[in-house]
């Protein structure tokens, strides 16, 4: 599940940047020491690793050893690219550079992708400067340019890197696959500089959204099955699937801009069949029937809306200011709706138990 | 109505701009565009507050309170009585890795050593 790095990887732990005296492994003091070798070929094993990463299996295990890598047969004039030590990031880069001789400097981002790591600062100025020095990059290449993925920029201050390491940061395109085109001119088009969030970008995130809520969902569905029957259990599953799978898929076409309101709309739509079932098929009448119709409309939409709101963390465009505003605006509504819904459901259950309805 | 994303914390001081064009290179949403003498703020509402422009502006002409707009991280911080603005999270594929970062010790080939150091 790990990578072509077969050589000495001790540098990653004994780096001087962290100053941890207790580390007992031998410090490699020869700064020009280790250059790993990699290829532009993505093996079946690599692809299986990517699949597992997408499903959140062994979440922290999709790691490349940090350090300097040789791709093809680079010379002292070959370009240098920086990447994160997350297999999906590293493999996207080396696959995009097929046939190009280059060096790849893998930063220690704790197995996290470039953009997220940049947001946290682990793909950052300090780590980049540290890696340049630790790998002896200035002795490996004669030029002083390093190409970073554009999405590394939230963590890296290009002018600081230049001041501290002498290396000039060049921001490449957002997507590694645009690198061959970028390298011919070293300028990126506006298209290459813009983040998208396409249907396939969104769908690839749905497994992890689902995996996150799977255990609580199963627990709730089982409890509902015994308390209120199969249809109620299906209602829970439907509300969650709507929030974790349907919502990401339909994101741009659901009306309104806020994620919560989009979620409410989707939640109401998927709740309607359940209300209809209780109105027409369940055999309830009078107050019981009215309650049974209202309850799905009160309970399901806030679940879907909450999951929809949580999807903001996975998107490529929501600002913290806006998400905070959404939380204050809509979370109280969600709590109120689901609370009233649960109280009514308990009331309905009690009425049925004592034979009122 | 139903749009919480119209305002953000991005501030641009064009008089300080030295026209190095870094902001136009790093912004993933085309918020800045190249101008004749200085960068132009063309899409302020597109800003997602990632902070790349401000960090890469050598003239300090851009300010933004950067942070990741992740609701689950902010809500759980609020529920635990912590500051919503200081919580860490992340976007995209690695969401859970970031949000549950306490469980992720640094990857160290020295094995046991790292745990003692924690």
The DSSP result for A246-293, as a single string, is: IHHHHGGGSSSSSHHHHHHHHHHHHHHHHHHHHHHTS---HHHHHHHH
Of B7, B50, B74, the CB nearest to A154: B50
- What average pLDDT does this structure show over B1-22? 93
Residue that wins the pLDDT comparison between A90 and A32: A90
Please give the pLDDT value at position B86.
61
* Residue A28 pLDDT grade (very low, low, confident, very high; cuts 50, 70, 90): very low
The residues, any chain, with a CB within 8 Å of residue A19's CB and separated by 6 or more, are: none
Q: What is the DSSP letter of A27?
A: P
Element (H, E) at A84: strand A80-84
Percentage above 70 pLDDT, chain A? 90
Strands A35-38 and A80-84, sheet pairing:
unpaired
User: What mean pLDDT value characterizes chain A?
Assistant: 88
CA A161, A165, A171, A176 torsion: positive or negative?
negative
The residues, any chain, with a CB within 8 Å of residue B32's CB and separated by 6 or more, are: B12, B23, B24, B39, B40, B41, B42, B53
Answer whether B89 sits within 8 Å of A204, measured CB to CB: no
Number of A/B CB contacts below 8 angstroms equals 223
Range with the lowest mean pLDDT among A189-193, A320-324, B98-102? B98-102
Please give the pLDDT value at position A246.
96
Residue that wins the pLDDT comparison between B76 and A144: A144
Please give the pLDDT value at position A120.
87
- What average pLDDT does this structure show over A232-244? 96
Tell me the shortest Cα–Cα distance from A198 to chain B, in angstroms.
13
Rounded Cα gap, residues A348 and A357, in angstroms? 8
- What average pLDDT does this structure show over B80-84? 76
Tell me the shortest Cα–Cα distance from A348 to chain B, in angstroms.
31
Asked if the ipTM is above 0.90, the reply is no
* Residue A70 pLDDT grade (very low, low, confident, very high; cuts 50, 70, 90): very high
Examine the pLDDT at A107 and tell me if it is beyond 80.
yes
Of B28, B85, B99, the CB nearest to A150: B28
Examine the pLDDT at A20 and tell me if it is beyond 50.
no
Task: Select from A28, A309, A323, A324 the residue whose CB has the most chain B CBs within 10 Å, as the one to mutate to test that interface.
Answer: A323
* Residue B78 pLDDT grade (very low, low, confident, very high; cuts 50, 70, 90): confident
Examine the pLDDT at B45 and tell me if it is beyond 50.
yes
Rounded Cα gap, residues A260 and A241, in angstroms? 16
Rounded Cα gap, residues A220 and A199, in angstroms? 30
Angle at A240 between CA A236 and CA A246, to 5 degrees: 135
Rounded Cα gap, residues B97 and A115, in angstroms? 13
Residue that wins the pLDDT comparison between A25 and A259: A259
Per-residue pLDDT tens digits for A137-164: 999 999 999 999 999 999 999 999 999 9
Residue with tokens 């599940």: A1
Please give the pLDDT value at position A33.
58
- What average pLDDT does this structure show over A102-117? 94
Residue with tokens 């991280």: B73
Name the nearest CA neighbour of A154 among B29, B52, B55: B52
Please give the pLDDT value at position A142.
96
Please give the pLDDT value at position B95.
36
Strands A80-84 and A102-107, sheet pairing:
parallel
* Residue B113 pLDDT grade (very low, low, confident, very high; cuts 50, 70, 90): very low
Per-residue pLDDT tens digits for A266-306: 999 999 999 999 888 877 778 888 999 999 999 999 999 99
Name the nearest CA neighbour of A86 among A60, A47, A52, A67: A60
- What average pLDDT does this structure show over A251-278? 96
Q: Is A211 helix (H, G, I), strand (E, B) or coil?
A: helix
Element (H, E) at A82: strand A80-84
Please give the pLDDT value at position A10.
36
Residue that wins the pLDDT comparison between B103 and A185: A185
Strands B40-41 and B32-33, sheet pairing:
antiparallel
Strands A102-107 and A67-71, sheet pairing:
antiparallel
Tell me the shortest Cα–Cα distance from A351 to chain B, in angstroms.
35
Residue A299 structure tokens: 């309970």
* Residue B14 pLDDT grade (very low, low, confident, very high; cuts 50, 70, 90): very high
| Dihedral pair phi/psi, residue A205, rounded to 5° | -90, -15
- What average pLDDT does this structure show over A46-50? 90
A120 in B contact zone (CB under 8 Å): yes
Task: Select from B23, B32, B69, B84 the residue whose CB has the most chain A CBs within 10 Å, as the one to mutate to test that interface.
Answer: B69
Global pTM? Answer: 0.80
Please give the pLDDT value at position A12.
34
Residue with tokens 């963390």: A313
Please give the pLDDT value at position B90.
41
């Amino acid at each position: 599940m790990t990578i072509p790095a077969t050589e000495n990887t001790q540098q990653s732990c004994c780096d001087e940047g962290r100053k941890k005296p207790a580390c007992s492994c031998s410090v490699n003091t020869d700064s020009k020491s280790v250059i790993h070798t990699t290829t532009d070929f993505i093996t079946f094993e690599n692809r299986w690793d990517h699949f597992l990463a997408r499903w959140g299996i062994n979440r922290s295990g999709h790691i490349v050893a940090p350090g300097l890598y040789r791709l093809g047969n680079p010379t002292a004039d070959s370009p240098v690219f920086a990447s994160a030590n997350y297999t999906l990031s590293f493999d996207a880069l080396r696959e995009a550079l097929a046939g190009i001789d280059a060096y790849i400097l893998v930063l220690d981002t704790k197995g996290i992708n470039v953009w997220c790591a940049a947001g946290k600062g682990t793909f950052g100025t300090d780590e980049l400067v540290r890696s340049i020095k630790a790998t002896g990059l200035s002795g490996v290449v004669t030029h002083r340019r390093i190409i970073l993925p554009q999405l590394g920029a939230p963590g890296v201050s290009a002018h600081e890197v230049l001041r501290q390491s002498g290396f000039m940061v060049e921001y490449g395109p957002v997507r590694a696959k645009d690198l061959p085109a970028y390298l011919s001119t070293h300028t990126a088009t506006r298209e290459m500089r813009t983040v998208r969030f396409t249907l396939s970008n969104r769908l690839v995130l749905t497994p992890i959204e689902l995996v996150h809520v799977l255990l609580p969902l199963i627990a709730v569905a089982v409890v509902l099955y015994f308390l209120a029957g199969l249809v109620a259990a299906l209602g829970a599953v439907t509300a969650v699937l709507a929030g974790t799978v349907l919502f990401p898929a339909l994101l741009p076409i659901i009306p309104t801009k806020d994620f919560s309101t989009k979620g409410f709309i989707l939640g109401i739509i998927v709740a309607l069949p359940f209300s209809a079932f209780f109105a027409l098929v369940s055999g309830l009448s009078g107050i019981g029937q009215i309650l049974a119709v209202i309850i799905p409309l009160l309970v399901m939409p806030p679940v879907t809306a909450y999951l929809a709101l949580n999807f903001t963390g996975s998107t490529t465009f929501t600002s913290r200011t806006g998400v905070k505003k959404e939380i204050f605006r809509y979370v109280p509504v969600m709590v109120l709706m689901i609370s009233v819904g649960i109280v009514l459901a308990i009331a309905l259950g009690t009425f049925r138990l004592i034979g009122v309805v | 109505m139903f749009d919480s994303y119209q305002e953000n914390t991005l501030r641009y001081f064009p008089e300080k701009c030295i026209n190095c064009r870094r902001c136009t290179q790093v912004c993933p949403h085309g918020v800045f565009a190249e101008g004749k003498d200085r960068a132009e703020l063309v899409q302020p509402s597109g800003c997602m507050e990632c902070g790349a422009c401000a960090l890469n502006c050598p003239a300090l002409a851009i300010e933004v309170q950067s942070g990741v707009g992740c609701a689950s991280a902010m809500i759980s911080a609020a529920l635990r009585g912590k500051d919503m603005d200081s919580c860490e999270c992340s976007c995209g594929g690695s969401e859970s890795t970031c949000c549950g970062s306490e469980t992720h010790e640094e990857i160290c080939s020295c094995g046991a050593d790292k745990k003692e150091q924690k």
